[in-house]
Chain A
Amino acid sequence: MPAPLKNSKNGVLGKKVKGFLATKSACRGIFSIVVALFIWEFGTRYGLPVLNAIPPPSAVLVSFKESFVDPWYWGSWQSSFQRIGLGFIFAQIIGIPLGLLMGTSRYFRELSLPVFEVLRPIPPLAWVPASALFWPTPEESIVFVTFLGAFFVTILNIVGGARSIDARYVRAAVSLGSSRKDIFWRIILPGTLPSIIVAMTVGIGICWNTVVAAEMLAGHSGLGFLTWRAYVTFSYPLIVVGMISIGIAGYISSAIIRLLGSRMTPWLKTS
């Protein structure tokens, strides 16, 4: 980045100057958000082409206030989170060991990877009906589809991660007298941890997408269902409330994963 040129104008970047620059960025960001909100508000009121169909921020705010005190709203949060949690955790429980096995054992990988590569391109949502045929209850089928999305991502990332562990680490461990079990738990597992975390971060995003869509299609509860029902019952501001809630929920889950991730891999922190 041409950052050095900026330094060259100042020579010395004092703390004050750096602090000021940071605020300038923040100011610009806030400015653009405010402008966007303004355009949204007035666009909906004065009938700009695309925007006139959607509810203005003021209406959304009102709807938000109503939802806050509505237990059904929070119940939706709970339902969605439950599904996400189950699908995601299952994906990790089954995916991580399987991925590690595939990453470390060459023959197992060659046996199983093609099957994955064939099944992977099928979008998880395409599985919804097939899953509904298979699983007795709709709840189970939604969790299964959620699981699938994260599962494939997890497998692929872990296989890639396990395979890219520098062979020298393994050799160093062997020369220091480690057993196979030791090598697995102390070299392979920690070495694959970053890719596990990447898989989790991507996976949770896919989970949210899948759950929301599944709820819209075939659900009876949850934030996706809330959003869809708002559309069907013409409570348009509630649609936006639903969207924003889902966004916040997604953000919270990603933040949790990120936190977990940095806890589990302290060595990746650069001073």
Chain B
Amino acid sequence: MILSQTLGKNGGALAKKAAISSEATAGKISIRDVSIVYDPEGARVVAVDGCSLEIPAGEFCVIVGPSGCGKTTLLNAIAGFHGVSSGEIYMDDQLLCSPEMTTEPGADRIVVFQNGALFPWKTVLDNVTYGPVIQGKMTRKEAREAGHELLLEMGLSGISHRYPSEISGGMRRRVEIARAMMNDPKVLLLDEPFRAMDALTKTVVQKYLLDVYDASNKTVFFITHDLEEAIFLGTRVIVVTTRPAQVKKIINIDIPRPRDFRVLSSEYYRNLKEETLEAVHEEAQKAFEAGERERA
């Protein structure tokens, strides 16, 4: 893939940024005894209950759990879209969220959304250059050049003047990742980003994400319900219980990087999968029954 050949090389855009940012312990996240309760239509819904998690800087951390268990709520709290009811969230030892305050969403922790959030009314290049330009970090000219460079490096040149509706779903997702990386965030938050994609495109984009991670070494907070994806991508897999979300099991994935698909048929992978499957399946069962009860 074009990516492995250009990413991370000296002078590559991502590597340049990685060199600058690795000076600080960029992107360490501490979630300490966080509970999030929200109240739609009067019924108290405990989405997250006493969840604690330490994510060291530069780790690819994957959260796995059944649908609706609160993992997205946790991600939203880190991103700053809403607050926490109790507990604290720290990033690089600075308070991010507490019951009294919530830091506004910002470019230090960028979210890649489930169904994609590329601005449909902007071209690919305009989408990618949006962040630096409006933050005043670059002039439009500089941003366009840097944007071209980044898109080139990520194998996305040639579509810079297209609109999101003109390119395929897989490309859109890659552009969104490029848009995030353009701002050199400390943390990348991905909320089931590949959920809506077909299996074949998914494998391509997963590899793409891994290449980006290898080149830039960002902290990644990745949410999925797909077990195979979790083990393939993550350094650590956190299994989370059904609602309210709590940490149920932490599994270290010692597969060396860079990873490719031969990993998927290795015995080590299969053992890991078995280990994780039990924990996840139990929670999935509970979630299913809870859903039935809710509707009954």
Contact = CB atoms under 8 A, between A and B. Distances in A.
Contacts of B36: 11
A7 B83 contact: yes
B39 A8 contact: no
A19 to B, nearest CB: 10
B253 interface: no
A12 B35 CA distance: 11
Contacts of B81: 4-5, 8
A15 interface: yes
B226 interface: no
A13 B45 CA distance: 11
Interface residues of B, number: 15
Interface string A11-25: 111110010000000
A9 B80 CA distance: 10
B233 interface: no
A10 interface: yes
A185 B37 CA distance: 47
Contact of B83 (A10, A15, A18): A10
B42 A8 contact: no
A9 B36 CA distance: 13
A18 B76 CA distance: 21
Contacts of B85: 11-12
Contacts of A10: 83
B38 interface: yes
Contacts of A18: 39
Interface in B3-50: 36-39, 42
Given A7-B83, A8-B81, A15 B102 contact: no
A183 B85 CA distance: 52
A15 B39 contact: yes
8 contacts: A4-B76, A7-B83, A8-B81, A8-B82, A12-B85, A13-B38, A15-B42, A18-B39
